[in-house]
Structure 1
């Protein structure tokens, strides 16, 4: 097969051969033993919004036990905050909301948006955010600065315009974008878009860029925001002696110097066993509890007590106006109330994490072992240039294949590797690895920018969270077979 002179030729060829690729994927699925009855019941993660993993049996039983009983939501709020204080200390607090995105929304509105009360024209605030993966979450609440980034989120999400990702922007709030030093933002994909290769991010140089940007915008600086992940594929490979990514601890220091909040999005992660907010130095950390903790759909906000008082007040759960420690009533954001069942389920899931962390971490360890084993089923030339990393924070195994590509020269030319699909491909349906897995009969995981996350939860664990080997191997073999198919059509390796 002819090699390509330019990247767009490669992706044009893949687009033209998409149906052939899908036909081969369906045949591979049948060869692996995926039947019409099992299609879509096994996947590489239970951690995507479109297809949630199964509840843990203990969580479901706790929800069932209270389903037909009157239960005080305020009392459940107190149990959650008590558990968080037991874990992190009396200087921290918590609140449950209906989704992780709702948690981010209330955090940015309460802690970063300029006040609306008072005479005169409102001033504008500006927060700093890294130009990193998943920017449509922590980086979408302000109007982008500099203006060259104003369309970088335009077609991400299900809708566009006012009802799309850009419609989340808060009044009078800007977001100043900071590129990660050492990152590569080369465009890839059938829906061509920058694909973030963050494997070689220079943490000290990135913190220096953040410091310079903070000084530049000191007069309007209202906060900093980033992900709280710890994997090299997300740019957080360089860590301090305690294991905290240097970028995150650096951002916390800058936030403290300017007396503004540092908000971290830790959606695909687990509280208690994962990243420690005390080590990061963040003011607020937000989780999606239904992704890897086995809880029902809901979001958890934990943070330092001072900012959490304001967040709890906005949620209507901090305390009644007549006095008292807590309540569960009306306020600006009571529309994102999680409901009794979510409160009970999240509390049960957090108790498992606190009292029996091995029940979760053991399944992660075994998943990592199986990923390493099944990775060997790919032809040896395809296995060159990969990075595999186990994350206790996110309870995932990360596979990154940006290393199969050569470094771009001064003109952007590279030695091409395994095709890279972008976040735009993911939303457009032109990510042939993801779409091919669906054709195969498997539920795919997040797979873009040459980065793949695999976690437990969708058809590969029992009711107690124990890993089931056969469906796990099936899902992994499907993933690696799909990569083989797409690579062969791309002419890689030559």
Structure 2
């Protein structure tokens, strides 16, 4: 296969050979020996909303038991609050939502956006976010600033216009996007697009830059937000002595210097075991409880009591108008009600996280071992293998495979597919996995996140090694095939 001179030519070559790549991948599934009866029934992550993982036995039993009882929903909400306070202390509070995105929506509308009521025109509000991965989630609730980012979500998702990502934008709210110092935003992919390459992010220099932006926008500034992940591929590899990402801590300090909230999107994260708001200083942390915690599809908001009062009010659970400690009523965001079964599953998941965290962490240790073992068999040139970084994250119950380092020193590296490729169906490292009968994981921006549970764990949540190993072998084989058609193999 010809070796391209420029990277855009590599991606043109890959596009022209997608059919050949998929044909080889399908054949490789037989060579690896993936049993036909499990193809299409397991995958590399239980953390994708579009294909939730099966529930553990203890979650199912707790949900079924509670479903047969008469229980006021306010009682279940208070039980969640009690478990959260057991771990984080009485100054923290919590509220469940239907999804993590619902949690983001109500939090941003409560804390960041201007009021609708009263005479006169509404003022404008702006919140600051680093230019990082998954930007369309926590960065999608305002009009992008500066204008060079105004079309950043144009092709993202399945629906354009008001019914797509643009429709998330809240009243008179802007999103100030700040590139991180040390990061690279090179263009990659068949759907050629700037991608955040974040393994070399400098937290101190990045905060100086954010502080400059904050000073510029101070009259309209209402808050700060970022991800809560802890790995180098997401830009959070530099940590303090307690293991807390320095970028999170510095963002909290900057937000509090303006007396403003710092909101953390930790969708792919665990309460208690993962991101700790007591250490990071975050005012609010939002979780997708079905991605890593093992609950039914739902979200959870954990935050300091003073801000949670307003969020709980918006969800109709703060208390009745005539004065009660709790309610389960109708408010602005009653549409985000998670329902009884989701609440029951969250309670059980949180109890396990509080009392037996090893149920969630041991599969990560086993997964890391399998991935590092199989990586030794990855048949690509050594200078490319040297550019891989493999990290373990308890917060995300995942193993991160980052390969942006394969592009160092001006060399042509392992193909990097953009998030636009994912939505266009041209991310070979995702769509190509289907040819093996393996449900793919998030694999864009030079970063692959692998987590258990999607047919790779038993009813108690423990890893099924042989099934997991099939998936890892398939991923590495797909990387080899793709590198071949990218012209990277001698």
Instruction: Tell me which interval the TM-score lies in, with the shorter structure as reference length.
Output: over 0.9
- Correspondence for 1:402 among 404, 420, 425: 404
Matched, 1:480 2:476: yes
**How many Å separate the matches in 2 of 1:403 and 1:471?**
29
Equivalences for residues 16-27 of structure 1 within 5 A = 16-27=16-27
**How many Å separate the matches in 1 of 2:239 and 2:35?**
44
What residue number does 2:395 align with?
A: 393
SS in 1 for 2:408: coil
- Correspondence for 1:432 among 428, 432, 441: 428
Equivalences for residues 160-199 of structure 1 within 5 A = 160-199=160-199
**How many Å separate the matches in 1 of 2:274 and 2:489?**
38
What residue number does 2:446 align with?
A: 450
Q: Is contact 2:380–2:480 with CA below 8 Å preserved after alignment?
A: no
CA shift at 1:242, angstroms?
1.6
Matched, 1:464 2:460: yes
What residue number does 1:275 align with?
A: 275
CA shift at 1:433, angstroms?
1.4
Q: Is contact 2:126–2:175 with CA below 8 Å preserved after alignment?
A: yes
CA shift at 1:415, angstroms?
1.5
SS in 1 for 2:450: strand
SS in 2 for 1:479: helix
Matched, 1:489 2:485: yes
**How many Å separate the matches in 2 of 1:107 and 1:129?**
15
**How many Å separate the matches in 1 of 2:56 and 2:16?**
43
SS in 2 for 1:212: helix
Moved over 6 A (4+): none
SS in 2 for 1:302: strand
SS in 2 for 1:51: coil
**How many Å separate the matches in 1 of 2:36 and 2:215?**
59
SS in 1 for 2:391: strand
Equivalences for residues 342-421 of structure 1 within 5 A = 342-379=342-379, 381=381, 382-407=384-409, 414-421=410-417
Equivalences for residues 40-439 of structure 1 within 5 A = 40-379=40-379, 381=381, 382-407=384-409, 414-439=410-435
SS in 2 for 1:190: coil
CA shift at 1:35, angstroms?
4.1
Deviation string, structure 1 residues 147-203 (Cα, Å, up to 9, x no partner): 110001111112111111121000110011100001110000000111211011111
User: Runs of 5+ in structure 1 lacking a partner?
Assistant: 408-413
Which stretch has the larger CA shift, 23-32 or 376-385?
376-385
Q: Is contact 1:47–1:268 with CA below 8 Å preserved after alignment?
A: yes
The number of aligned residues is 488
Across the aligned residues of Structure 1 and Structure 2, the Cα RMSD in angstroms comes to 1.0
SS in 2 for 1:416: coil
CA shift at 1:37, angstroms?
2.6
Which stretch has the larger CA shift, 305-314 or 59-68?
59-68
Q: Is contact 1:59–1:345 with CA below 8 Å preserved after alignment?
A: yes
Which stretch has the larger CA shift, 153-162 or 374-383?
374-383
User: Runs of 5+ in structure 2 lacking a partner?
Assistant: none
Q: Is contact 1:417–1:493 with CA below 8 Å preserved after alignment?
A: no
What residue number does 2:39 align with?
A: 39
Q: Is contact 1:223–1:260 with CA below 8 Å preserved after alignment?
A: yes
Q: How does the TM-score come out when normalised to structure 2?
A: 0.98
SS in 2 for 1:293: coil
Distance 1:46 1:125, change over 3 A: same
Deviation string, structure 1 residues 127-165 (Cα, Å, up to 9, x no partner): 001100000011110101111100011111121111111
SS in 2 for 1:292: coil
SS in 1 for 2:58: helix
CA shift at 1:493, angstroms?
3.6
**How many Å separate the matches in 2 of 1:132 and 1:199?**
11
Q: Is contact 1:270–1:394 with CA below 8 Å preserved after alignment?
A: yes
Q: Is contact 1:99–1:299 with CA below 8 Å preserved after alignment?
A: yes
Q: How does the TM-score come out when normalised to structure 1?
A: 0.97
Q: Is contact 2:380–2:489 with CA below 8 Å preserved after alignment?
A: no
**How many Å separate the matches in 1 of 2:361 and 2:469?**
18
CA shift at 1:392, angstroms?
1.4
**How many Å separate the matches in 2 of 1:87 and 1:318?**
21
